[in-house]
């Protein structure tokens, strides 16, 4: 079960949450989807249409470390993120620490 929050349908597409950091007048994201289709946006972002078993087999064949932990951490997925979003998430997570 999930609940989404976002702009109303009257908000222009260029300001939609599904456009990442795109601003009005800039090219739209490749992830842009209709605002009223929250489930499709979530399915696309988490790549729920891809088989985890197939991905795990591919990743296990290329990474011996992943092969060892794939059953312990089931549910690992590659998100469909904008490169800028990915970079900011990495920077923020690397600056985080347990004492905070």
pLDDT at 8: 54
Question: Domain extents for the chain?
Answer: 1-45, 51-100
85-91's contacts with Cβ under 8 Å and 24+ in sequence apart are 85/20, 85/21
Q: Where residue 100 falls among pLDDT bands split at 50, 70, 90? A: low
Q: Does the pLDDT at position 89 exceed 70? A: yes
- For the segment 46-72, the average pLDDT, to the nearest whole number, is 92
Q: Where residue 73 falls among pLDDT bands split at 50, 70, 90? A: confident
- Does pTM surpass 0.75? no
């Amino acid at each position: 079960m999930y609940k989404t929050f976002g702009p109303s349908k009257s908000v222009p597409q260029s300001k939609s949450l599904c456009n990442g950091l795109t601003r009005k007048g800039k090219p739209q994201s490749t992830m842009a989807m209709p605002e009223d289709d929250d489930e499709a946006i979530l399915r696309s972002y988490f790549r729920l249409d891809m088989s985890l078993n197939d991905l795990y087999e591919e990743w296990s064949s290329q990474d011996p470390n992943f092969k060892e932990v794939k059953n312990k951490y089931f549910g690992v997925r590659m998100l469909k993120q904008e490169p800028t979003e990915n970079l900011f998430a990495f920077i923020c997570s690397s600056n985080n620490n347990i004492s905070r």
